[in-house]
Chain A
């Protein structure tokens, strides 16, 4: 048996990320005694370096390495860049939040970086085992991050729920993986696809495998009926961590969905399409209806996130490259919007006041008109009202399902969009029309956060006026 040394070049960003993060882990123990923020700055620097590496080695064609278990392509590279940019934003917001809530620790950032590594691996995984590895690297980091506030009962409960249900979901996924392997004899996505296409497989086992995989994916995405953990975890976790779970992790979950279903199991499109239709319809309805009664903004964003997942799945249902591109565009837009939304909460949170109740936003226009305007941008973008970019995200996915012949689904989706407009409007309503209980001016905890929130929110408007380049980028990547 001769050992072939694989090409490491395509995986350079991951390798560098792993190395630097490991070094940082050690360095953190020394640094944290001298300079409080060294780890934070090192984290941002590492992300910059990794982002630069991805950008300079941007691949327009598909490159496989490590015996076909790792792939580099435009789809993955774009998602990685988004992950890097979004993570930098998350860490920026988190730093202030951790300081305010007095549990600033270097581990948060090292764990976060490991999470990013997991996401990178998921995005680039080209066989079931690599995918599983990536998923676990990310999940373990997230479990630990949720549990970081040892003194907070809610956070511990959330961590427990997240861990147990997450493990269950992974179990389902693995079970599905094993069935697919059993039926096809391969774990590699392109080989699986070929073998299924050849027709020499046991269809019953395959179908069961698909069902389990879709259940596992739905868990990870937080789609109905496997969404129960989402509101509790979002609500219970420290907001900085919610920010992380609700944004960057969603990109990785989307990548996983795409790699497994589209690249690995295109031959079973009939089976998974009907499952996804069901999940998507349920997510749209639950996301719109249950959100109506939420009084807590974090829970509201969690439930509305379920609805947004329903929209992302609409693009997958179309089952063609344009549909996947639309779903990718929606995911990116949603993640940016959610970053702004959770970022707003983080920016306003104070010691002993999480600022996450809708009632906290009462009379915001009187207390800080600029931030009220930014929040208005965020809410209307979430609701999908032009000229904000959220509108185009909805248009492209709806356009793809119409094109795929699911006009009824498009009508359902727009009706749900109208219902969900109500609760986004409610937030705008309390900001602009209600009298504040406390009329002192509210300021973000730091100037830096003020800029960051404003930047992301204005980006929603600018992208909305000129959505062309981002749309084209997504459409050309597949």
Chain B
């Protein structure tokens, strides 16, 4: 609540109700539908700004809290709040949403109201995931998200969209049901579904291991981590541009968020016991999936694999804590890894979103994503080339862009934990640069490859505005990440204390 105004509820329900309205009102009124969707997303973004400006950075406590009894029989509450870990993600969601809506403007021609409605409902649900402080409420948002995404990929996707969307749905559903069982077990132990009560409860070592594994399955599928990542390239390749943007920029973050909100604070001892598992899987993602990205012929697939590789930084950054504490004897040193992971999440949201939008722009014009179909695009689309190179550099982790900050912090932390971790993690600077720049070279530079490329038109005003906004965000975060680090600092410190305090 802010001065008695339920700001978090507004952020959740404004887009959902708007989405439902447009489903019913927007039939055959495409222009109205688009403007309505855009206005709602802009208003939602404006409403979310006070979260940042009024945020108290000195505390790790939950802020803007709303709490109402929902299902009293099981002590399930409608309980919302944000801290430094979730607030930036909420803003990322509201910010990205505007670009998502704008990106679909001229592209979607069939059942526009269903498309816009689905994205608006998804936005509300995603915000719900990040602000829910009750396990069941969290789960409801988490699962409900699958429904609109299922429809979006399956209806507006590419050739094999049905296979991809069912795979996406079943993989993520399979992962999350274990989380539900873990929630129920903890409810049985603590008598409450409140996530804060989960944090405070005592758990034996076997229980912790089982709960940790249940969480790991749920979040690993979502992040996604090797070896349960295979749904992601399929889903990305088949999804329409906006679907890919939402998937990469926000939905993957839900997995990372799950680790910091649930795994580390609720099962610290099991996390310490099994951190090698997460670290190993993350390193495989960073190194091996990076190599896989290099051989892709389809641009979207390349960026999808690159996403998995970059999300490996998020998970490794989070689980380096224990090794660093062992080596240095203080949790202060692990701060940089955790904050690096959090910044990587936000930055990956911008960069991967930008990369998918870029491919979307090309696809709209040429209807192919094969790298080999392009060449010399910069000659016909100079502005587009400018942005593309900027985002590619950011994706490769060039200093001065947001991609550098997070990766650099995590690599530093890796070296503190173990030299080998550091070396493998740092290899991404080479591999990432290789696949991104190679793609840029083949698509944008050189002579104009064929007549199709020759007749391309440069960005229109709408596309320019989208690209420029993202470019601004990427560069701003790259040269001045301090405000972001500041808002999350207290919460990260608190998280590290929770993660390193034994519950046994």
Contact = CB atoms under 8 A, between A and B. Distances in A.
B291 interface: no
Given A385-B147, A422-B166, A429-B162, A414 B181 contact: yes
Interface string A395-429: 11011001100010011001101100110011011
A159 B73 CA distance: 43
B123 to A, nearest CB: 16
B154 A433 contact: yes
A418 B174 CA distance: 6
Given A386-B139, A395-B136, A407-B181, A468 B72 contact: yes
B70 interface: yes
Interface in B72-108: 72-74
Given A421-B170, A422-B170, A387 B73 contact: no
Contact of A425 (B70, B150, B185): B150
Given A415-B177, A418-B177, A386 B144 contact: yes
Contacts of B162: 429, 433
A326 to B, nearest CB: 10
B187 interface: yes
Q: Mostly helix, strand, loop or mixed at chain A's interface?
A: helix
Interface in B339-385: none
A385 B73 contact: no
A399 B140 contact: no
B188 interface: yes
Interface residues of B, number: 34
A272 B140 CA distance: 35
Given A411-B181, A417-B177, A468-B72, A403 B140 contact: no
Contacts of B295: none
Contacts of A467: 71
Nearest to A399: B184
A395 B150 contact: no
Interface string B129-147: 0000000100110011011
Contact of A472 (B72, B170, B178): B72
Given A402-B181, A402-B188, A468-B71, A421 B143 contact: no
A392 B180 CA distance: 11
B178 A414 contact: yes
Interface string A439-478: 0000000000000000000000000000110011001000
B155 A433 contact: yes
Given A380-B147, A399-B184, A429-B154, A411 B178 contact: yes
B136 A468 contact: no
A467 B181 CA distance: 20
Assign chain A's interface to a size class.
35 or more
Contacts of B165: 429, 433
A399 B181 CA distance: 8
B286 to A, nearest CB: 29
A399 B187 contact: yes
Nearest to B76: A468
A410 B140 CA distance: 19
B196 interface: no
Interface string A360-373: 00000100010000
A411 B177 CA distance: 8
Contacts of B139: 386
A182 B161 CA distance: 64
A391 B144 CA distance: 10
A213 to B, nearest CB: 31
Nearest to B142: A386
Contact of B166 (A402, A425, A475): A425
Interface string A89-107: 0000000000000000000
Contacts of A385: 143-144, 146-147, 173
Interface string B177-218: 110110011011000000000000000000000000000000
Residue of B72, B154, B184, B185 contacting most chain A CB atoms (<10 Å): B184
A449 to B, nearest CB: 21
Contacts of B288: none
B287 to A, nearest CB: 31
Contacts of B161: 433
Among A399, A403, A426, A475, residue most surrounded by chain B Cβ atoms (within 10 Å): A399
Given A421-B169, A425-B169, A398 B181 contact: yes
Contacts of A376: 147
A386 B74 contact: no
A391 B71 contact: no
A428 B181 CA distance: 26
A411 to B, nearest CB: 6
B178 A432 contact: no
A414 B177 contact: yes
Nearest to A430: B162
B42 interface: no
Contact of B180 (A387, A398, A403, A429): A398
A399 B147 CA distance: 24
B173 A418 contact: yes
B188 A403 contact: yes
A421 B173 contact: yes
Nearest to B69: A468
A417 B176 CA distance: 12
A398 B177 CA distance: 11
Interface in B4-28: none
A471 B74 CA distance: 9
B331 interface: no
Nearest to A474: B73
Contacts of B146: 385
Interface string A333-348: 0000000000000000
B185 A407 contact: yes
B272 interface: no
B151 interface: yes
A387 B161 CA distance: 25
Contacts of A402: 181, 184-185, 188
B397 to A, nearest CB: 37
A387 B143 CA distance: 8
A426 B150 CA distance: 12
A418 B144 contact: no
Contact of A386 (B140, B185, B187): B140
Interface string A137-166: 000000000000000000000000000000
The listed residue with most A CB atoms (<10 A of its CB), out of B111, B151, B170, B181, is: B181
B143 to A, nearest CB: 5
Contacts of A399: 74, 184, 187-188
A369 B71 CA distance: 32
A376 B72 CA distance: 28
Given A467-B71, A475-B73, A410 B181 contact: yes
A410 B184 contact: yes
Given A407-B185, A472-B73, A475-B73, 6 more contacts: A398-B184, A421-B170, A426-B166, A429-B166, A467-B71, A468-B72
12 contacts: A376-B147, A385-B146, A399-B184, A402-B184, A414-B177, A415-B177, A421-B169, A422-B170, A425-B169, A432-B155, A471-B71, A471-B74
